[in-house]
Structure 1
Amino acid sequence: MDTFVPIHVYSVVWLPVHEHPLFHTAKFNVSVCAWCHLEGIMYSSYVCDEVSCRLFHKMVSRRFRLHKECAEAPLEINHHPCHPEHPLLLTNDSPTEDGTCDFCGQKLLSPYYTCPTCEFKVDFICGIKPSPSAIEHPVCHDHQLVFLKKGREEEVHCEVCKKSISGPSYSCPECNNVYFHLDCVHLSKEVNHPCHSNHPLKIIAYESLRNDDHAEKDCRLCSTPPEEMLCHCSTCNFTLCLSCTKLPPPLVVDHSRTHTHTLRLVSSKLAFTCKVCGIDGYRRRPYICLECDFVIHGGCIGFPHVININRHDHRISFTYHHSRGRRCGVCRRNVSQYYGAYSCSVCPNYTVHTRCAINNTIWNFAELEGTHGGT
C-alpha cells in the first residue's frame, strides 16, 4: 500500500475543519465544491485523496474538492455586514434538519459561519461573499434592485437567463415581476469578455439564431449546446454560453509540471492533437505554447504524473518517450509514440493511453509522485 509523503512540488493546506491534508491541483474539473456546493468547471482547486472523504452527488462518487478561493476562506469573519456585532466562526458541525441561513433563507449546509453568542448562522457563500441588500445602479436594469430572501411560493424567472429562480434573488420594486439570479445581476446586455476582446458580446435569445445555418450556436469554450439565452458577437460569429461568460477560463496558465513554458488559451476554432492524451480536438478550447510545438486540451492541464491503476500491479508514470508498436494495456489499441502515455518502469513493454489510465473506473485518483511505496 502506498504511503503518502508530500514533497515540495505540491501546495498543501491543512484546515481545522477538515481532518486530512488538501493538495492543490491545476487540473480543470467539472465537479461540486464541498463547501460552497456550487457545481461547474473548477479551474484551480484543492482535493483530498482520502477515500473516506469521497462525496456522492447525483449518484456519482466524487473526490472531496474545494475551489481555491473556498479553501483559503477565513476561519473567522469580523464586522460581517449582516452581523457586525460579533465575529462569525467557520464550523463543520451538522446544522439542524430545518436550519436555514439567516441572511438568504436557503437550507443551511455544512460548513457554515455561526456566531457563538447570538446563534446567528449564515451559509458559506453568504459568509465570504454577502450580497448587498440593494444595488443602486445595476448594469442589467434601469432601476434600483433589492435583495430578496428565498421564500416565494410562486415561480419566477430571471430576466437575463430566463431560467426559474429557486433561491434568493434581486427584484425591482418599481417594475412588476422583474427578478434576477444573484450571479446574473452583474451581466449587462453587452458583455466585455476576456476571451473575445475585439467586440462586446450581446446577450440574445437562441431563437434569433435558430434559422441562421451559418451562425455558431454552441459555446466556443465548452461546446455546450445552446440554451434559451446565449452571448454572441455577430461580427465574428463568436458564441459563449452564460456559464462561460460568468466564469471564464484562465487566459494564461503557468504550470511547470504540465509544460515548462507559459500556456495561452486559444479561443479560435483550431484543429489540433493534444500532446498529452493524443486525442484530436476541434471544438474544445486548446492551450498552446508560443515558444514550442506544444498544444494541450484545457482538461489535460495538471494531469497526474505517477499513479496506480487497477489493471496493473506496479505504478505507472507519464512520459513522452516510449517505443513505437505498443498496445494500450487497457483498451488494447495502438499507442502512438508521438504523444504522451503512461508506462511501467518494471515492465518495459507495458504502456497505457493517457485517457485510459486516468479513467475514473481505472484510477483511484491518487497522485503518487513524491510518495514512498513499492513499484
Structure 2
Amino acid sequence: MHPLASVASGKQILCKCEACGKEHKGLFYQCVDCPSSPLIHNDCVFLPKRLLIQQTTHDRFSHTHPLTLAYSCQKSYRSGSYTDPKCRVCNLYFDDKYIWIYECDKCRYYAHLDCATNTREPFMSILTFPGTGNVIKNYEDDEYPDLLHLPFPDDSYSLLKNLFYKDTRSMTFGTNDEIKKHISHEHPLLLVDITQPTASYRARNVSYHNSMKKIQLLCNGCAKPIITPPFYVCANEDENCDFVLHEWCTRLPVKVNDHPYHPQHPLIYYPKINPEFLNVFDCAVCHLSSNGFVYCCVECRYYVDVCCAFIPKRVTHKSHPNHLLSLFMPGFFGETKLCHLCMYGYDWGAKFKCEVCNIHLHANCALLVSETITHKVDKHPMKLSYFPIENHKSDYFCEICELTLDPSRFFYHCQECVQSVHTDCAPAIYESEIYDVNIKFGGIHNLAHVHQHPLSFVRGIETDVHCDRCSRDVKYSMTLKCLQCKYAIHFNCFKYSM
C-alpha cells in the first residue's frame, strides 16, 4: 500500500471521489508515489476495512457475515453466472466497476460504500430511495383492513380463494350444498370435501392435481390447479365428463362494478364466450389466452378472466416489504420498467408499483408465483428467494432445465439440498410455462370445415408434426391435433382462418 497525502495543501475543494463515484466538497487525498492516481475524499479514505452492516444501518439492513472493503467491484462482475450484480441495500446497479464497494464474496453480497455505512441523512433518505431492506412502513393496517399480502403461501392459494372461500366445515350440509346445479354446466355437481362425512362418495376416487406425479386436475372456472378440497365434480359419471370447479368459483358474483381498467361500464359474468373459437378469449388485463369463465362488457368487447376481474388495487409483497404497491396499466408506448422480481420489462399488462420507490412488479409475478412449492427434483419444499443465498459458494444452476440461474432474479431454493430452480421451470401446471396461457386443455371437437376427423385441443409437444396451415413448429403452442392422422394446426391459424 502506498502512502496518501492531502491535496490542495489541505484545503477543501469540490471534486469527484474516485472511490465512491460521488461529488464531494471537502478534503481529498492522493497517492504520494503515483501523481496521476485518483482523488479520494476524506470520508472514503478512513472507511473501516471490515464492518457489520447491522451496526452501521441500525439493523435496518442485515447480513450475518462481516463485509470487507474492496477497492473495485471488478471481481463481482467476474463471479461466474452472476455477471451483473446490484447493491443489496439500494437495489441499484454499480455505475462504475472501478468504484470501491463492501462485499461478502461467499454470499455474493455487495453494497455501495454510503449504503453500507449509513452516510446519507436522514438515514439514506430511505422513504424516497428504492431500498429493499426493512424500509419504514408507509401505511397503517387499520386504513387497509382487506389488504392482500403476497406472495401466497403455496399453490393451493389463489386470489379467488382469498376472496370467496367459505369454510365448508361451518356449513349446514343438505341438498343445496352437497348437490349443486350451476349455470356453467348442464349436469348436477357433487361436492368433494374429505373433511365432511356427508360430502360426495366420489371424493374417495378423485385424484387431486399433483405436478410431481403428473396428475392434472384444473378448474373449469379459473383454469387453475385443484390441489385441495372443497370442489365440485360432475355428477354424471356415464358420460365421462371431466368438469370440475373450485368451491369458491361457484360463488362468483354476476356483475363487477368499477373495474380498475374499465370503470365506465359494469362487467357481466358469462360461463362461456366465443363458442366458435372453443370458448377461448384474450384477457384485456393479463393478456393471456383463457377458456375459463369470463367477465365482459359486450358493448366495448372488453373481456377479462375471473382472476383479473377481481385484481386488487393495492397489495404488499415480501420482496419490497412495508410499502404499498398500487395497481397501474402502462400505456402501449409507455416507459418500460424492469420487474423487481423477474428483472424483465414490458410496457403492456397489469403491474403493481411502489409510488415511493418507483419499484415495479408484474401482476403475474406477484399473484401467480407462490412462496413455496414442491417438486420432484427435491424431497423438501422449495422456498422463493429474491437474492443470492448466504454461503452459496458455487454458481447457480436450475435442477430442471440444467441451465445457469441468475440469483438476482427470484428463484426457488432448497437450503438443505442446496438446489435451485427457475420459477418458470416449476409451474403448478406441469405441462406449461406458468405465464404462457390460462387454458384448460382437453376435449374432442368436430370441426368438419377444418379437418375430416375429430380434433383434440392440446398443447403441442416436441414430437408433433408442423402446423398444416403455416408449416411452423407447434411445440408448446395451443394446437388442434388429430389422433387418427398426423394433422395438426395452431389454434391461432384455426382462429384467423375462420
Q: TM-score scaled by structure 2?
A: 0.32
Q: TM-score scaled by structure 1?
A: 0.39
Between structures 1 and 2, the one with greater strand share = 1
Larger radius of gyration: 2
